[in-house]
Structure 1
Amino acid sequence: MTDPAATFQSLILEARRRFEAGGIADPATDARILVMSLLGLGQTDLVLRGDQPVDGALLPVVEQGIARRLAREPVHRILGQRDFYGLALMLSPGTLEPRPDTEVLVDAVLPHLRHVVAAKGSASIVDLGTGTGAIALALLAECPGARAVGVDISTDALATAVRNAERHGLAQRFAARESIWFENLPGKFDLIVSNPPYIRSDVVLTLDPEVQNFDPAAALDGGKDGLEAYLAIAEQASAHLQKGGLIGLEIGWDQREDVTQIFERKGFSLVEWRKDFGGNDRVLVFASRDR
């Protein structure tokens, strides 16, 4: 139990100690983010008020948060939101928790999107497997001339994406559609983006509890070889890509050659690839050969 005479600083230290004892991978960071967020503290508050006592009514809230983290629930799941490309995005059971490495995909396709808007006055995006709406909403926030459709098979994810769009004033340029990839999606787009499930089914069973138990399996499991989603997207992409359009994809660290071959067989050329913050291949950008 937390100390009834606890200060802001001592609560963070206690959480860190318990996380270390519980085998949490990064106890110091998790303790700081969790406790400060639950108490509504900023970094300046911690400096100025770190030695002040905490309102006793808040102690059970912190205790519950610590207990949930010790049960391996991720910090941002406990808090109910995570920042992505400067947007605070709400999470729900049907959404993947957006990771910083996915921001590399936004960085890669944003110049193209801006170029299309400059040339045509507008641009259209489809985000396949949108989840929280992270990729689409980040692009809309950075490019006011763009509109996006977020596609997902999860009604929970789609509802969360819509709430995130509303939260950030992007709802008028964002539409949600329930579909298996392009199945219920008419029309063509200037940009197709996706962070699809790409983990091999046998590997999903070995993931950390934070991922395996809290991220939706449908957003993780890419089938026996991890490539099922890429095959499905490549099969139909030509019919949904505007002339001169691009496809931006997140991939697993060892999938660059396999995914490139899949799209090359369907008439696309790899025009760019980028590594993530850990130095692993993470993003591929394709264009149609007849662009």
Structure 2
Amino acid sequence: MRSLPTIAAAAASLALACSQGGDAAPSLTMPSRAGHAQRWFPIVAGTPHATATCDDCHGAFDTFAKFDCIHCHTGDHADEAALTTRHGAVPGFQFASEACYGCHQSGVGVDHAKLFPIVAGTAHATAGCAECHVDPANRRTLGCAGCHDHEQAAMATAHAAVPDYAFDSARCVRCHAEAQVDRVAAHLPFGIAPGLKHSGSRAACLTCHPATRADKAWAADFAVKDCLVCHGDTETTSHHTQISGYAWATEACIRCHPTGVN
């Protein structure tokens, strides 16, 4: 059985951890601001909620699992009618703290234009948040295929000339990051239409364009091309022994074969 001094020392250690607001005792519900940002919500210096206290968000409840966003925000943020109007293009909007956090987990507004076009006049202007973001705990889990499930056969037909097509949401946004529809016939001057040298299995979008965009890590960067993944060094070099200045490099391939043919 532990002695009283030992128990007292342990209690003092825990009290010190609490008073410092640190993560020394991870079982306690008092993380540092950096720990809070890492686990739940950013409240570190430089963020909109840097001056928020525990009670500001959790003071009205007997558990830290509950929180209140609305009471702290003045002006439009505290005006249900004004906030509902501001979210007029967000079907299913709710004037509730849980809904605030569901869409604003970083504590700032959502500039959706940088992610995917949903403004008036675009194909997805009437889409509700929950229609695309099917997992409330992870906004990166998309439901493109769920919305278009009634069109699966039609989608397969439309992508008949795309060998690496898959009826998968992540694949949808990888090739259609701007909701654009790129036509095989318009892939010029480098032709990949049926019947051409680089059609069929030799025209896999993500094989020729394996890189992702700097601004959208989930999207293919179609400005970056890779010929070498299919055209090996030994075989390709042996076919160019009489070509002065030849180099086994994608830029050289495109420069001499801009249309994809000999």
Q: Does the alignment reach a TM-score above 0.5?
A: no
When Rg is computed on C-alpha atoms for both structures, the one with the higher figure is 2
- Quick one: higher RCO (CA 8 Å, sep 6+), 1 or 2? 1
Relative to total residues, which structure has the larger strand share, 1 or 2? 1
